[in-house]
Amino acid sequence: MRVSGLLYPFSNSTAYEVEALLENGQLVIHYDQNRAARCALDNVSLSTQIPGVPVQATLPSGERFVPHSPDFIWPISAHRQGMAKFERHYGMILSALLLTPLLVYVLLFKVTPMAAVLIVDYVPDSIVETMGEQSMYVVEENFLSPSALPPQTQQEIHAIWEDALVKVALSQEQYQLGIYASEHFGANAFALPHGQVVITDDLISALKDNPDAIRAVLLHEIGHVEGKHSIRLAAQAFAGTIAMSFIFGDMEGILELLIGSGNLIMGAQFSQKMEWEADNFALERLTQLGHSNTDFADALKHLKTLSETDKDSTSERAQWLEYLSTHPSLEARIQHAQSYQHNQ
Ligand SMILES: [Zn+2]
C-alpha cells in the first residue's frame, strides 16, 4: 500500500513530499533523493485520533510522517486497533468525559500530594544540581557580597565545617560552605538542594564565642539537604501542575518545572516537620562527633537571648533575628535538643 504525505526528518523542520510504502508489516519512506526512513509498523507511535485530522506516525528514529488524508487508517496490530475502536465508540467517549473530572480531582487532591513526596527520591542528581546552582546564582547576584570577616575567622569556620564533614562521613565534593556578608539575610544560614550551605557574617559574629553552636547550625542546614527538603517543597508546590503533566504524559515538563523552581526554594519556608528532621539530624551527628546534644540547644538559646536583648534596640542589628524567624517553635526545639537521647 502507498500513502502520500509529508515527512519531517528528525531535528529538522524541512518537510519532504513523499510516498510511504506499507508492506509486510514494514513502513518504508524514501526522501531527499537517497535517504530512507524505515521501521516495523508495530514500532511507530501514532498521534491521537481526532476527527478530520490525519493521524501522524513517529518512527523510533525520530522522523515524523503525516499522511495527507485525514481518513487514512493505519494498518496496525489488533490490540492497538481495539484501542482505536474504543475511542471511536461514543458511549465510551461520553463516560470518559464524565469520568475525567473525577480522575483529575482524585489525581490532584489525593494522589499527587503523596506522589510529590515519593517523587523526591527519583529526581536525578543532575536536576538537583541545576536547581541548586541556579538558586545560588540568583541569590549570590542579588543578596550576597563577599565576607568582610577577617580571613582568620573565615578559616576557623571552614575548619569547623571540614572537620564536621569528615567525621560525619559526608562528601566533601558535594558539600560546599560559603561565608557571605548579606544585608538581605541578616544573621542567617541556609542550604540549597545540591549541598551549598551559606552562613552570613552576622550569624558568625553573633555566635563568635560559641564555635560549637556554629557547628550545630551547620549540621542542621546539612540536615535539610540530606532530607531533600527543598525538592520536597518544590514538588509539593507544583503538585497540581505535576498532576496535569502526568495526565498529559509530559514527564520532561515536570523536570523543567523543578529546574525553574530556584526562586521558590528561596522564598518558601520549610515545614515544622522538616525543621524537626533537620534538628534530629544535627543532634544525632553531634553526639556521633563526640559533642554534646546540648550544643544545639545552646546555639538556639544563645540566639534567643541575643534576639531578646536586641528587641528594644533600634539598630540595624535587630535584623539578625532572621535565623530564628525562619526557624519556628523555638522553645519546643530547645527542650527537644536538651532531652535528645542518642538511640544507638
Ligand atoms: Zn532549618
Is 149 within 8 Å of 204 (Cβ atoms)? yes
The whole-angstrom separation of Cα 173 and Cα 182 is 25
Which stretch of DSSP H or E encloses residue 180?
strand 176-181
Question: What is the DSSP code string of 31-56?
Answer: ETTTEEEEEEGGG-EEPPPBTTBPPP
Q: How far is the CA of 221 from the centre of ligand 1 (A)?
A: 6
Mean pLDDT in residue range 31-56: 85
Mean pLDDT in residue range 257-275: 65
Q: How far is the CA of 270 from the centre of ligand 1 (A)?
A: 7
> Is it the case that residue 200 has pLDDT exceeding 60?
yes
- Residue 313, pLDDT score: 46
Which stretch of DSSP H or E encloses residue 18?
strand 16-23
Q: How far is the CA of 328 from the centre of ligand 1 (A)?
A: 9
Structure-derived torsion over alpha carbons of residues 123, 129, 134, 138, reported in degrees to the nearest 10: 110
> Is it the case that residue 239 has pLDDT exceeding 90?
no
Q: How far is the CA of 165 from the centre of ligand 1 (A)?
A: 18
pLDDT higher at 71 or 343 = 71
Q: How far is the CA of 316 from the centre of ligand 1 (A)?
A: 23
pLDDT higher at 337 or 317 = 337
What mean pLDDT, rounded, does the chain reach? 78
Q: How far is the CA of 198 from the centre of ligand 1 (A)?
A: 12
Q: How far is the CA of 154 from the centre of ligand 1 (A)?
A: 22
Which stretch of DSSP H or E encloses residue 200?
strand 196-200
Task: Give residue 315's pLDDT band: very low, low, confident or very high (50, 70, 90).
Answer: very low
- Residue 320, pLDDT score: 44
Q: How far is the CA of 266 from the centre of ligand 1 (A)?
A: 12
Domains of the chain by residue range: 2-88, 119-339
CB-based burial, 93-118: b 16+ in 10 Å, e otherwise:
eeeeeeeeeeeeeebbeeebeebbee
Task: Give residue 344's pLDDT band: very low, low, confident or very high (50, 70, 90).
Answer: very low
Helices and strands: H and E segment counts in the chain: 15, 11
- Residue 34, pLDDT score: 84
**Residue 38 corresponds to which amino acid?**
R
> Is it the case that residue 307 has pLDDT exceeding 70?
no
Reference 267, options 149, 151, 135, 158; nearest CA is 135
Q: How far is the CA of 72 from the centre of ligand 1 (A)?
A: 60
Task: Give residue 312's pLDDT band: very low, low, confident or very high (50, 70, 90).
Answer: very low
Where does residue 62 fall: left (phi above 0), alpha (psi -120 to 50 degrees), or beta otherwise?
left
Mean pLDDT in residue range 189-200: 91
Match domain 2-88 to its CATH number in 2.30.29, 3.40.50, 3.30.420, 2.40.128: 2.30.29
Helix (H, G, I), strand (E, B) or coil at 7: strand
Residues 87-112: tens digit of each pLDDT: 566 666 677 677 777 766 676 666 66
Distances (CA, A) of 314 to 79, 182, 188, 310: 75, 19, 19, 8
Mean pLDDT in residue range 127-137: 83
The whole-angstrom separation of Cα 338 and Cα 56 is 66
> Is it the case that residue 3 has pLDDT exceeding 70?
yes
Is 242 within 8 Å of 111 (Cβ atoms)? no
Percent of the chain with pLDDT over 70: 71
Mean pLDDT in residue range 199-208: 89
Q: How far is the CA of 203 from the centre of ligand 1 (A)?
A: 14
Task: Give residue 318's pLDDT band: very low, low, confident or very high (50, 70, 90).
Answer: very low
Q: How far is the CA of 243 from the centre of ligand 1 (A)?
A: 28
Mean pLDDT in residue range 2-22: 88
Per DSSP bridges, beta strands 2-8 and 64-67 are: antiparallel
Task: Give residue 279's pLDDT band: very low, low, confident or very high (50, 70, 90).
Answer: confident
Residue with cell 569556620: 157
Long-range contacts of 194-200 (CB under 8 A, 24+ apart): 194/128, 194/129, 194/131, 194/132, 194/133, 194/225, 195/132, 195/171, 195/225, 196/132, 196/136, 197/161, 197/221, 197/222, 197/225, 198/139, 198/144, 199/157
Q: How far is the CA of 217 from the centre of ligand 1 (A)?
A: 8
